[in-house]
């Protein structure tokens, strides 16, 4: 049985893609840049907001132009981040069951730390023992630096901790940290990506995670 489970946030616990896409396309429209579909945005996210802005903006922009686009994106997203975002079906029930079973849970996200904590607590109050978002002086996932710091804070052991996420970034994060990894298919990426990255398990519905954790 796993005593600790560390979840990714976007694409794993929360379906945030529509609000992220709306914010990105808002910036694109303001500058006359080509817009992108929601499915295209699914492959732009996962490596932090600055990288997302680089990906939806046209090539050849200066550092100052990218910084301006990042500021515009951040301001719009901050005001609209809950317009369409919601937990995936079955996630609240899964988290409640794990909490009742005494499993310790945390979130590790490439979303900025100042934003990640309030978002998690807003949608899942009192559920998680810790939330760790991106910090300016630490490498992003899939580097395991923040994962290891989070595990130390939780007192989590490698052999009894499961990492859960929806992308190759998440799978590689868990693997780089020495953990067993479960990929999920309700998020932003597909089975081939998760399996090729080395996921130990791949599930289609949140309810499938509970027996995996408890066995």
> Does 129 participate in catalysis according to the annotation?
no
What lies within 8 Å, CB to CB, of 79 at 6+ separation is: none
Strand partners for 164:
7, 182
**Residues for the chain: how many in total?**
215
At 207, list the tokens. 């309810």
CA distance 208 to 202: 10
Q: Are 190 and 206 in contact (CB under 8 A)?
A: no
| Active-site hit among 8, 19, 166, 168 | 8
Instruction: Give ∠ CA 30-24-89 in degrees, rounded to 5.
Output: 145
CA distance 64 to 151: 37
CA distance 140 to 46: 10
Q: Are 182 and 162 in contact (CB under 8 A)?
A: yes
Pairing of strands 14-15, 86-87: antiparallel
Q: Are 200 and 172 in contact (CB under 8 A)?
A: no
Catalytic residues: 8
């Amino acid at each position: 049985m796993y005593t600790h489970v560390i979840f990714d946030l976007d694409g794993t616990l929360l379906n945030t893609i529509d609000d992220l896409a709306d914010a990105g396309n808002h910036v694109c429209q303001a500058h006359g840049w080509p817009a992108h579909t929601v499915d295209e945005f699914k492959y732009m996210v996962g490596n932090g907001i600055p990288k997302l802005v680089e990906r939806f903006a046209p090539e050849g922009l200066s550092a100052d132009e990218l910084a301006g686009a990042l500021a515009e994106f951040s301001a719009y997203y901050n005001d609209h981040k809950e317009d369409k975002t919601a937990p995936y079906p079955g996630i609240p029930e899964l988290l409640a069951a794990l909490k009742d079973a005494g499993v310790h849970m945390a979130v590790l996200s490439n979303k900025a730390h100042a934003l990640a904590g309030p978002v998690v607590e807003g949608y899942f109050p009192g559920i998680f023992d810790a939330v760790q978002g991106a910090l300016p002086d630490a490498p992003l996932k899939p580097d395991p630096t923040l994962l290891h710091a989070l595990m130390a804070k939780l007192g989590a052991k490698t052999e009894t901790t499961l990492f859960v996420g929806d992308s190759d970034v998440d799978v590689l994060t868990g693997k780089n940290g020495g953990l067993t990894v479960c990929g999920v298919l309700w998020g932003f990426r597909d089975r081939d990506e998760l399996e090729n990255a080395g996921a130990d398990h791949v599930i289609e519905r949140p309810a499938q995670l509970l027996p995996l954790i408890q066995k």
